[in-house]
Amino acid sequence: MPSSSPSLPNPSCLSLSNMPTNLMPSPMCTTNTLSSSPSCEAPPLYAQFTSQGTLDVPGMLLMITKCFKKWTVRHFRALEDWMNNVEQWLVNKEAEKEKESKSKLLRHVRLTDDMKDDLHDLCKEFVKLQG
């Protein structure tokens, strides 16, 4: 009777004495590299197995899809927030330029008004000197 949680079949790592000569590692390899072989490590967290011990591909793909969806939603929201920040920065920059432009225009208008007043005063003085 299968247990409630299917267990992963534990692959036994091949020992050098059991290996056929054409599959033996090079003498340059150390036994440490063999022990860190992916076949000797625990399966990935997303791996799911059936009660018979075979890989449950549809279930695993569904789980990966759900995780990927959560990941993409979070990243999409972060990107959306970033784009909102960029948009706000651009709006502020545009408002700053507009404010600076208005300020320059007002200074120019003031100078023009001052120049008109000065010119008017000069004309009066000129008329007095002639008259």
What is the mean pLDDT of the segment spanning 30-53? Answer: 67
| Residue 101 scores a pLDDT above 90 | no
pLDDT at site 38: 55
5: pLDDT strictly greater than 80: no
99 is written with which tokens?
């404010």
Q: pLDDT at residue 102 above 80?
A: yes
Question: How far apart are the C-alpha atoms of 38 and 43, rounded to whole Å?
Answer: 8
CB-facing half-sphere around the CA of 104: CA atoms within 13 A = 6
Least reliable range by pLDDT among 9-23, 63-77, 99-113:
9-23
More confident residue, 94 or 68: 94
| Cα–Cα distance, 55 to 69 (Å, whole number) | 22
Residue with the larger pLDDT of the pair 30 and 96: 96
DSSP-derived letter for residue 44 is: P
Domain ranges across the chain: 1-55, 57-131
Whether pLDDT at 33 is above 80: no
Are 59 and 48 in contact, with CB atoms under 8 Å apart? yes
Q: How many CA atoms lie within 13 A of 31 on its CB side?
A: 5
- Mean pLDDT along residues 32-53: 69
Reading the block at residue 52, the tokens are 């018979």
- pLDDT tens-digit readout, 47-86: 888 888 888 888 888 888 888 888 888 998 999 999 999 9
Rg (CA), the chain: 40
Give the pLDDT band (50/70/90) at residue 103: confident
Its pTM stands at 0.37
Alpha carbon distance 85, 80 (integer Å):
9
